[in-house]
Structure 1
Amino acid sequence: MLSEPRSGRLAAWGNALLGGLVSPDDAVLAVVGDDAVHRVQGLPGESAPVGLTLGLGRLRALGVTGLRVALPAPGHPLGLSGPPEFNARALDAEEAVVAVGAALGLVPEVSEAGPAGDVHVEVVWHCLPVREAPPADVPSLGEAERELAEALREATVVLTRLGVAASGPVAEAALDAYRARAEAGREVLAPGYPPRAVRVLELAQRIALMMDLAVGAGHGGAVAASEMAARTEALRPVERVARRAQVAAYNAYVEEQERRRG
């Protein structure tokens, strides 16, 4: 998990735009990243898909004041509040964005075209009705930070018990890429986010990377299906904590704004 979920980028930079901290062009550039184009389909008042700049402006006009992230998994509707139709679509995509101030949510549909090495990626954000209710199972930043510290210790114990070093050329290359991005001073979150949210997100991403490497680590890069399944099951609680922490970090801007208003 070296790259952010698209829902995380949209929520983070969308929040910065809604807060007047970045320009529309800068926000859209950050959200699109290496993709070719992002569009929004199903916006109230729009009969056809619109570009992301117009889509974000339309959301503001509809009363949206902030954006939250959902990263659901089977049996864990993390960040969702319903209705079932939206939850099912978000679960299929494994991510979604839920608006604050209007009962709307956005689920990405990603399509790829072109030969290897020159893949053209397009993203359509489907705008759907959501239920206005507290999101499921989202911790506070403080809770997430404490859970991550415990998860890191637990992961070390589990990996040692399984005899997994999560090392080798592939693992080292992945870790080197992570360090290079960190040293390059990349913005983990958009302007306006508290430093604690940045710390929590970085640690959650590092733990998620450890999990990915551990599941795939083996002699010569090959792991028997039964062994991979055993590792995945043993590390499931740690993976769950890392996802919860990512959602808490991406949602920190909205939570901070709500505390100030309260």
Structure 2
Amino acid sequence: MLTEPRSGMLAAWGNALLAGFVSPDDAAVAIVGDDAVHRVTGLPGESGPVGLTLALGRLRALGATGFRVALPAPGHPLGLSGPPEFNARALEAEEAVICTGAALGLVPEVTEAGPAGDVHVEVVWVCSPVRDAPPADVPSLGEAERELAEALREATEVLAKLDVAGSGPVAAAAIDAYRARSEAAGAREVLAPGYPARAVRVLEMARRVGLVVGLARGSGHGGAVSASEMWARGEALRPVERVVRRAVVAAYGVVVEGV
């Protein structure tokens, strides 16, 4: 996971807006990013899709006090609290935003059009009710940081035994290159204003661990080429991927959860 999920951008900049760190227009611009346009549909009190600026204001008026991220996967409803219809939609999208204080959730529907190199991306956030209940399996930021450090050690050890190229010097070089690109970006913020430095650190660590996972999954070198060995590789990576997603959810939600 090397780029911000759209749910993360909406949650981070939505939280910055609610805390008074940014204006509605600046928050909307940051959330949209490189996409062409974002709209929100299903908002209580609105008859059709509305723009992000209006939607963020409406959510605040409806009682939203913060935004959390959900990154569910099959068998792991990370960050979700129901109902089943919302969970199913979020699982299909592999992400969602939960509004604390308003019992509403948003799931992105992404449409792409145009030739390679000139793809036009539109996002419609579908808003619907959610249960006002604790989210599933969300760790504290401290727990996430400890889990990531352990996951990176375990992943490299296990993958080295499987003879996966992404577990050794190739992974180290790729991580160094990623770190150099991040430092060269300079002023680009990893998270929105108002987030603590520890959340930034955890999110960056999650990206580095995610990079190792991506290299391992994409590696066609080494001995792990048979069906059984590919299955073993997947089994080794699955718990690491879960740790990465838990850490990302914790980082984006720390200003809401306060842990």
TM-score of the pair, normalised by structure 1: 0.91
| Alpha-carbon shift at residue 158 of structure 1 (Å) | 1.1
| Alpha-carbon shift at residue 156 of structure 1 (Å) | 1.3
Residue in structure 2 matched with residue 196 of structure 1 by the alignment? 198
Residue in structure 2 matched with residue 82 of structure 1 by the alignment? 82
Aligned-partner Cα distance in 1 for 2:72–2:109: 15
Residue in structure 1 matched with residue 55 of structure 2 by the alignment? 55
Counterparts of 1:80-229 in structure 2 under 5 Å?
80-166=80-166, 176-177=177-178, 179-185=180-186, 186-219=188-221, 226-229=228-231
Is residue 216–residue 223 contact of structure 1 (8 Å, CA) maintained in 2?
Answer: no
* RMSD, aligned α-carbons: 2.1
May I ask how many residue pairs the two structures share in their alignment?
A: 256
Gaps of 5+ in 1: none
| Alpha-carbon shift at residue 174 of structure 1 (Å) | 8.1
Aligned-partner Cα distance in 2 for 1:171–1:227: 23
| Alpha-carbon shift at residue 25 of structure 1 (Å) | 1.8
- Identity rate of aligned residues, in percent? 77
Residue in structure 2 matched with residue 22 of structure 1 by the alignment? 22
SS at match of 1:99: strand
Name the stretch that deviates more: 183-192 or 161-170: 161-170
SS at match of 2:43: coil
CA-to-partner distance for each residue in 1:92-123, whole Å, 9 max, x for gaps?
00000000110100000000000111000000
TM-score of the pair, normalised by structure 2: 0.93
Aligned-partner Cα distance in 1 for 2:172–2:152: 18
Q: Which amino acid aligns with 1:180?
A: R
Is residue 171–residue 213 contact of structure 1 (8 Å, CA) maintained in 2?
Answer: no
| Alpha-carbon shift at residue 168 of structure 1 (Å) | 9.1
Is residue 171–residue 212 contact of structure 2 (8 Å, CA) maintained in 1?
Answer: no
SS at match of 1:76: coil
Is residue 103–residue 132 contact of structure 2 (8 Å, CA) maintained in 1?
Answer: yes
Name the stretch that deviates more: 156-165 or 62-71: 156-165
Aligned-partner Cα distance in 2 for 1:46–1:225: 51
Aligned-partner Cα distance in 1 for 2:145–2:171: 28
Structure 1 stretches of 4+ with a deviation exceeding 3 A read: 167-175, 222-229
Residue in structure 1 matched with residue 2 of structure 2 by the alignment? 2
Name the stretch that deviates more: 147-156 or 124-133: 147-156
Gaps of 5+ in 2: none
